[in-house]
Chains A and B, each alone.
Chain A
Amino acid sequence: MGIISRGFGGRRRDSAPELPPGQYLTHDFPVLSAGPTPRIPLDRWSFTITTEVGQKHTWDWKAFTALPAEEITRDIHCVTKWSKLGTSWKGVSLDTLFEEVETAADFVMAHSTGGYTTNVPLEDLLDGKAWIAYEFDGEPLEEEHGGPARLLVPHLYFWKSAKWVNGLEMMLDDEPGFWETAGYHMYGDPWLEQRYTGD
Chain B
Amino acid sequence: MKTRALTWRAATVSAVRWETPSARTLTLEVPDWPGHLPGQHLDLRLTAEDGYSAQRSYSIASDWPGAGPVEITVQRLDDGEVSPYLADIVEAGDRIELRGPIGGWFVWRATQPAPVLLVAGGSGVVPLMSMLRERGRLRARQPFRLIYSVRTPEDACFADELKRRVRDDPGLDVHFVYTRKAPDGWPTPPGRIDVATLNTHGWPPDFAPDVFVCGPTSFVETAADILVALGHDPRKIRTERFGGA
Contact = CB atoms under 8 A, between A and B. Distances in A.
Interface of A: 1-11, 13, 22, 24, 26, 28-38, 80-81, 114-115, 144-145, 176, 178-179, 181-183, 195-199
Main secondary structure on A side of the interface with B: loop
Interface of B: 1-6, 8, 10, 43, 45-49, 51-57, 81, 85, 89-90, 94-97, 102-106, 217, 221, 224-225, 227-228, 234-235, 237-239, 241-245
Given A29-B245, A199-B6, A8 B238 contact: no
A31 B245 contact: yes
A2 B53 contact: yes
Given A3-B47, A35-B235, A145-B245, A197 B3 contact: yes
B96 to A, nearest CB: 7
B108 to A, nearest CB: 14
Contacts of B8: 2
Contact of A181 (B47, B104, B235, B237): B104
B239 A8 contact: no
Given A2-B47, A80-B57, A38 B234 contact: yes
B43 to A, nearest CB: 8
Contacts of B245: 28-31, 144-145
Contacts of B217: 30-31, 144
Given A10-B81, A34-B238, 18 more contacts: A1-B51, A2-B47, A6-B94, A8-B47, A10-B52, A22-B53, A26-B244, A30-B242, A35-B235, A35-B239, A37-B225, A81-B56, A176-B1, A181-B1, A196-B5, A197-B4, A199-B5, A199-B6
Contacts of B4: 197-198
B89 A7 contact: yes
8 contacts: A3-B47, A5-B96, A28-B245, A30-B245, A36-B224, A36-B227, A196-B6, A197-B3
Nearest to B229: A36
A8 B6 contact: no
Contacts of B49: 4
A76 B95 CA distance: 32
Nearest to B228: A36
Contacts of A34: 105-106, 238-239
